Amino acid sequence: MPSSAPSSARIRATGTARGRSRVVSILDAAYGGSDQWEAIAEGGQAKLQAAIVSGGLAATKSRVILSVLEQVKQKHGTYSLDHLFAASDDDATRELLSFRGVGPKTAACVLLFCLRRDTSLAVDTHVHRITGLLGWRPPGATREEAHAHLNARVPDPLKYPLHVLLVTHGRTCDECRAGGRVLGRCALRKAFRGAVVVEGAADEEARRGEIERVKAEEPGVKTDSEAIAHAVEQASRA
């Protein structure tokens, strides 16, 4: 079946490789395949939300996936964006961002993972948090601002491996994962100590950004304490 790249990227964003494998298996059972876009669209949000719940933020992700599928079908008459394989990076990015619910991170993931381009560094919560801790982006930068800042500075051949390394580190390091505490054992922080700010204000800014992200993306989360608990739970699934 033709691909719907933003929806594929959203499913890819459902957590760890193990978590994604579990989600794909559930989608296979529920719809006959994880890329059966017509069946997914016709199945409604409740069914999709239940299928991807193990990845976290299922209410938000299921709503966005169905919205993007509807927009793609209305624009192209089919659940396919295969024409983007022949498009330039700029044209592909421009079309992806034209869909409501698709931001720079999802567009970058589509280019990086679905279209096999190495010209875009996807800035997810781990990349945003750790580049803030290392001082690689301006303090207080949003994900969109961090995306523009980092993509202008990181060489193309390093964008994919750097994304993978930062995401892996953000999921496994006791200090740098969501809800982590400075323990003085992080090899990455030690390597940059003295050259950049890696603690104090940077840690608080990353913590605040994580809280606001969860509150914005998960409708049921209202307070800071609920957001922290949700972030820690997500980190524990990594």
User: What sign for the dihedral angle of Cα 50, 54, 56, 61?
Assistant: negative
Find tokens 């589509």 and name the residue. Answer: 110
Catalytic residue list contains 47: no
Catalytic residue among 75, 105, 190, 215: 105
Whether residue 129 contacts residue 234, with contact meaning beta carbons closer than 8 Å, is answered with no
Tokens of 131: 């580049």
Return the SS3 of 11.
Answer: helix
Return the H-helix or E-strand segment holding 115. Answer: none
Dist CA 183 CA 204 (whole Å):
15
Q: 193 — phi, psi (to 5°)?
A: -65, 135
Whether residue 231 contacts residue 210, with contact meaning beta carbons closer than 8 Å, is answered with yes
Nearest to 151 by CA among 125, 111, 119, 105: 119
Rounded to a whole number of angstroms, the CA Rg of the chain reads 18
Catalytically active residues are 105
